[in-house]
Structure 1
Amino acid sequence: MKLVNYTVTVATGDLAFAGTFHNVYIKLVGTEGESEHTWLESLKGPLSFIRGAESSFTVTCPVSIGKLILVEIDKQPHLLSFEDSWFPAKVEVKSPEGDTYNFPIYRWITDSEVHLFREGKALRVFEDDNLLGRYSRELELKQRGKDYRWDVYLEGIPHCMKAECIFSLPCEVRFSFTKTTEFFFTAATGLAELQLKGLSDCTKNWPNIDAIHRVFCCKRTDISEYVQKHWKEDAFFGYEFLNGVNPMLIQRCSVLPNNFPVSDDMVFLGAHCTLAGEMEKGNIFLCDYKPLDGLKTNIINGMKQYLMAPLILLHKTPDDQLMPIAIQLKQTPADDNPIFCPTDSEYDWLTAKIFVKSADFNEHELNVHLLRTHLMAEVFAVSLLRNVPMVHPLYKLLVPHTRYTLQINNLARGLLISKTGIFTKFAASGGEGMKTLLKRSLSSMTYRSLCIPDDIADRGLENVPNFYYRDDGLKLWEIIHRFVQGVLNFYYKNDDEVQKDTELQKWISDIFEHGFLSQAGTGIPESFTTVAELVKFVTMVIFTCSGQHSAVNAGQFDDCGWMPNAPLTLQHPPPTTKGTTSEATILQTLPAVNATVQIAATVWLLSRQSTDSVYLGQYPEEHFSEKIPCKLIKHFQGELQVLSAIINARNKNLEVPYTYLDPMVVENSVST
């Protein structure tokens, strides 16, 4: 009897410690039968499965086993050898009929159990009609349900993944060896530098502004140095509401809030200008920090800290600069709550701006950064991993945007916002205030605010000049949207297919329940009824995990490394009357030395990218195998390169380049 041969090529991932010296076995499963459990033996011997290796083997069957559905893989240690870990990237099988089958794996195998992997063609649950295929699908999700469980870190905020520590996370979602080494080395060296300088435990106030330069004198960026030189200037103060790390609060003002009684005689807008007239022209803008009102503030170094809930009015001048014209530091108008203006004394006005920047930094870190990117990305990831198998097109599309998110969030909960975390100890809103602000922020968050085209329109910012976050963000959203639309339209030909995809519906249902706590008022869909709804939501997920996170994370050290520009806490209350401030009162108000340096070290760490970062549009893991999705990926990459070139060309003419949404520096996922 003539036997038939299958050529099996196994690729091991190019990661540190990815290889194995164990015996590897495979079984091919097809529509007409299966192969024997075969030891993959070659002339390379123990080198067949070392890091980055690609080795071919022959698997022989008595007859053809039909179209391949899945492979079963296991590794067995040699006698007297210890269990090790292996990271197979993919398996390619060439059949005797001339067909090629691809099996994406991209996961760690740490035991001697048999693991099943589906052929690479994407299949939705309602079209997966092979019994063995459906069984493997169910088996995979059953195991994932055990590995990825929901947990409640704090009532009233999005749920997270249940994990006691980073070592209890599944291997495939942990940092690589490279990422781990660089992350902890950066953290350790930063803190060591501060300890050697005697700064990390110093509870004294800064003697003068120049002394703050001692912090990370060797760790500076071009923009952080620019901030040091220009932080007192009104033009730069206004610019940062558009292009700093928190471009999410400013909105066009058409009617003054009742609790912000600014009058024409308080602000000088030029000849023949009135507030009403400028508002009608669309030249007046508002930032309102109402969610900070009444927060219980921290105790640091034995001293009560202060955090205001200011209102700020800004004016677009004829030369297209955004200039602050009025600041009220508390929400309720009163005689002891003056409205500060640029015409006040230098130190009155500077003090008011410092309280605004402190409020902005606290709002940014807890709402804009932590909640709206990190916690949302974790919800998207956990729901995907619990409910959607590898063979599903949604998994293939979204899994690159989950990389490292679960570990970085686990670290954040342990090192930043826990009872002993840096943020809890050294931020004005740390502790009880943090919990309150997170709950308030989630209760007021809407679906539209997570979609940049809707958010920009709702805030009335379509025509504001020099708004590079908006310009780059809208272009990036459209590129992502076209890519997502192309991929999902390939798999979902009509709305009925979306509605009957139970795995897809469970994904969004879990997000609605665990991410938005079943709050229908947010506008987040509870289910998908149309392809268009699905496309928009998936676009939002990818944009949130990549571009939005980069916009509010990458510039943290640039903007906040120079503490006077963004103090995370303040030690004295604001002035209740004008004319009582000085440089001495500002130094008494700014954070103590230890609070300054601990926060500076943290934002330095969070702004660093790893050498193994994967940027938007890069797909080192090849999950798609069909021609059209692969072609769409190439087109997506081309569009991102064009956008990058446009951004770089514009930046050459800018005094302060805006790079945070350049696709060449935007990571695929929330990983820092």
Structure 2
Amino acid sequence: MAEYKLEITTGDLQYAGTSDYIYVTLFGTEGQSERTLMDNYGFDFQTGAPGSYTVKTSSSLGKLLLVKVEKDQYLCLPENEWYFSKMVVTTPEGDVILYPCYRWIGRGEMVELRGGRAMKAVEDDHPLLIEHRKKELMLKKSLFQWKIMAEGLPHIDSFNDVSELPAEISYSDSRTADLNYSRKKIGIELKVKGLQGSTAQWESIEDIKKIFWFKKTTMSEYVADHWMEDDFYGYQFLNGVNPGVIKRCSELPTNFPVTEEMVKPFLEEGSSLQKEMEKGNMFLYDQKKMDGIPPAAYNGEPLHVTSGLCLLNVNPENKLMPIAIQLNQQPSEKNPIFLPSDPETDWLLAKMFIKNADCMDHGSVHHLMRTHFLAEVFAVAALHSFPVIHPMYKLLFPHFRHTIHASITGRLILFGPDGALSNSSLGFDGIMELMRRDLSEMTYSSLCLPENIAARGLESIPNFYYRDDGLKLWNIIQSFVKAVVEHYYPSDCEVHRDTELQDWISEVFTHGFLGNKASGFPAAFHTVEEVVKFTTMVIFTTTVQHAAVHSGQYDYSSWAPNGSLLLRKPPPTTKGQSSMKTVLESLPNVGETVRLAAFAWLLSDRYSGYIPLGTYPEERFDEPEPKQMIKDFQAELSCLSEAITTRNSHLELPYTYLDPAEIENSVSI
């Protein structure tokens, strides 16, 4: 007689336990056990509790291959799903084997689990395992399918509603409840104040501060007080929600005829425009990719979108200051270059229209497409290509656990009739065209932060905390990924032989980057080094980069004058004709403003189930080596978090978005 000791753990999620019968069957190289009821005295499978059980066989089953777990009805009790976390089996020979599950199981449902070390396809040598792997991938390919959202954009998952999603990638009930509670709380406050749906125009800038009573952050209040200041305007191009747009300017574009005379008063005494460019102190914001996109209509009339240029200078106090703005690409008498010495509201409006374009670029391109859409591509391709026993699945899955759910809900929020991007100055069609243009020009190097920073010439610009923290995080993630990948792929030959790995990168290239070879994205992997770099980029994009462009949305965007997706008036074409009344008339009306602020609140809240970067509550790796690598990864992140906290304690404006403790482990909202 042989005895197998089983420890079965129920998740600690709300309502994770079950009163149903749970049966287990073990399969080994020398046979299988009987279907055995897991039943102890008292209540089994309670929320958050492990239970110990025994399966007896007449003799050893040899090497364990699979565990089958079944859930059947107990008496006439109503259905309650069970969240099955993991099973640990101790064999008669003393082997201890982990079987991760981490998913909900319904009544009448059966799951077959692989245990032990992560395995690539070429390492499976038993017919039962080969057949199990084949069936799992066939099921995944039928479940996770691609569809085209719009021509020229990354493909998306085929699910039409979150109710169709498998439980293992859906939000928990508690997270969904949190989101719904936030929506209701926001809606009630705006209704009580009579702001929701109001078509009235703001009568004063101060009135905008009264939108929310209780949702205030240190940064959002600072923004409301300092939004008109030039040094804060420049600061936001470095450490605001869209830090990926400016580049060093060593030569002015021919369509931006800034002269020495125009900007000399704003440069260091004794310096010149040419000298400042040679010293590396001049930077350019150029929204040329927006040029020529038709704007949306508003009350039957077309809005105005400025594909403008903004020249910035690092002054002797190391502050990045805007010194010249042209609101459209082609210079003309009706497209003057605005300067800080112009009438106050002219200069203010020029900055606001540049910010309007930047907000649309941020929301659609740098946030939605370059983090959410790409994360969705990485996720669907991985779910398509890897069985759960694959080492790359174990490494990657925690970084897109809720990504598909977030993408489906996000598309509704952003592109629905009341969606933030649908109601921007560009409107739905214009936003789609902007994203199409960006994807057609997107390069692999632009998603790899060290190369991105170098290409934009931003290696030495001062007070650039996004760069400083981001590069450290890139290196920490790369070190972790390198250790894990090289453990499972000791040679380039192993990369060539892994057909599932090649399927993944092929799907990403085809469905994410639409087969564009000029982009530099790999269509196949040839070396271990290529796998390390691409996987680093994937994890960085779905964690660090998403945090950089996501976490500060309420801080910077809830105050409409600082940056709005919608401006209602045309931009100034001549100087000296504006007033504060023009500024108020240009802003969205009351109802539009509060809707955008509510949207920023909803996205920026932290909800139940939040998992910080490097935290892996689901135990998926069974080998000691990757477990130690995870501990080393966490230790490096903890040290960086302490260093960032220390640095921030000395800053007037702490930059917290890339503190590892503040970065979510996946795109989850």
The TM-score range, normalised by the shorter chain, is over 0.9
Which residue is 2:51 aligned to? 55
Q: CA deviation at 1:298?
A: 2.1
State how far apart, in whole Å, the 2-side matches of 1:18 and 1:385 are: 24
Confirm or deny: 8 A CA contact 2:268 2:316 kept in the other structure: no
Q: Which residue of 2 aligns with 1:562?
A: 559
Q: CA deviation at 1:21?
A: 0.9
**Aligned equivalent of 2:354:** 356
AA matched with 1:348: D
Q: Structure 2 counterpart of 1:90, which letter?
A: K
Which structure 1 residue ranges, 5 or more long, are not aligned?
Answer: none
- Cα distance in 1 for partners of 2:314, 2:421 equals 37
| Cα displacement string for residues 454-490 of structure 1 (whole angstroms, at most 9, x for unaligned residues) | 1001100001110000000000010000000001111
Q: Which position in structure 2 is the counterpart of 1:66? A: 62
Matched, 1:311 2:280: no
SS of equivalent to 1:256: coil
Deviates more, 1:78-87 or 1:333-342: 78-87
C-alpha contact (below 8 Å) 2:268/2:315 kept by paired residues: no
Within a 5 Å distance, the mapping from 1:261-340 to structure 2 comes to 261-268=257-264, 269-340=267-338
Distance in 1, matches of 2:109 and 2:171, equals 24
What CA deviation, in whole Å up to 9, does each residue of 1:188-224 have, x standing for no partner? 2112211221112111211111111121132110000
**Cα distance in 1 between the residues matched to 2:418 and 2:62:** 57
C-alpha change, 1:49 and 1:173, in structure 2 (3 Å) is same
Contact kept, 8 Å, 2:412 with 2:419, in 1: the verdict is no
Matched, 1:449 2:430: no
1:142 corresponds to which residue? 138
1:596 and 2:593 correspond = yes
| Alignment CA distance shift 1:170-1:347 (3 Å) | same
Measured after TM superposition, the shift of residue 607 of structure 1 is 0.7
Match of residue 211, structure 2, among 205, 209, 215:
215
Cα deviation 1:586-634 (Å, max 9, x = unaligned): 1111111111110000011111111320110111000001001000100
Give 1:545 deviation, angstroms: 0.6
Return 5+ residue gaps in structure 2 as ranges. none
Structure 2 CA distance for partners of 1:230 and 1:662, relative to 1, 3 Å: same
Aligned-pair RMSD on alpha carbons?
Answer: 1.1
Give the distance between the partners of 1:487 and 1:457, measured in 2 at CA: 27
Q: What SS is found at the alignment partner of 1:587?
A: helix
Please state whether the residue corresponding to 1:136 is helix, strand or coil: helix
Distance 2:109 2:588 in 1: 55
Within 1, Cα distance between the matches of 2:121 and 2:646? Answer: 46
> 1:33, CA displacement in angstroms?
1.6
1:331-363, Cα deviation, whole Å (9 max, x unpaired): 111110000011111111111111111111111
- Match for residue 369 of structure 2? 371
Which residue of 533, 537, 540 corresponds with 1:536? 533
Match of 1:37 in 2: 35
3-state SS, counterpart of residue 365 of structure 2: helix
For 1:291 and 1:217, the matched residues in 2 are separated by: 39
Distance 1:435 1:611 in 2: 32
Q: TM-score, normalised by structure 2?
A: 0.98
C-alpha displacement at 1:425, in angstroms?
4.5
1:99 corresponds, among 95, 98, 101, to 95
SS in 1 for 2:412: helix
AA partner of residue 399 (structure 1): F
What letter is aligned with 2:405?
A: Q
Conservation of the 8 A alpha-carbon contact between 1:300 and 1:425:
no
Query: Which one-letter code corresponds to 1:297 in the other structure?
Result: P
Q: Using the alignment, how far apart are the partners of 2:119 and 2:566 within structure 1?
A: 52
User: TM-score of the superposition, structure 1-length normalised?
Assistant: 0.98
Counterpart in the other structure of 1:342: 340
SS in 2 for 1:426: coil
Q: In 2, Cα distance between the equivalents of 1:235 and 1:440?
A: 31
Bigger shift: residues 229-238 or 298-307? 298-307
Deviation at 1:569, TM superposition (A): 0.8
Give the secondary structure class of the aligned counterpart of 1:597: helix
- 1:224-274 CA distances to partner (integer Å, 9 max, x unpaired)? 000111110000000000000000101001111111111100102133322
Secondary structure of the corresponding residue to residue 331 of structure 1? coil
Q: What's 2:245 paired with?
A: 249
Q: Secondary structure at the match of 2:261?
A: coil
Question: What count of residue pairs does the alignment treat as equivalent?
Answer: 667
Q: Which residue of structure 2 lines up, in the alignment, with residue 475 of structure 1?
A: 472
Output the CA distance in 1 between the equivalents of 2:109 and 2:322.
64
Secondary structure at 1:423 match in 2:
coil
Deviation per CA, 1:152-182: give whole Å up to 9, x if none. Answer: 1111111111112110111111111111111
Identify which of 595, 607, 612 aligns with 2:609.
612
Alpha-carbon distance between aligned partners in 1 of 2:558 and 2:569, rounded to the nearest angstrom: 21
Among 394, 397, 401, the alignment partner of 1:396 is 394
How much does 1:86 deviate?
Answer: 1.2
**How high is the sequence identity, in percent, across the aligned residues?**
47
State the distance in 2 between where 1:596 and 1:149 align: 38
Does 2:525 match 1:506?
no
Instruction: Select between 332-341 and 26-35 the one with higher mean Cα deviation.
Output: 26-35
Aligned-partner Cα distance in 1 for 2:89–2:571? 70
Superposition deviation, residue 421 in structure 1? 3.7
- Offset, 1:301: 4.9
CA contact (8 A) 1:448 1:523 kept: yes
Superposition deviation, residue 639 in structure 1:
0.3
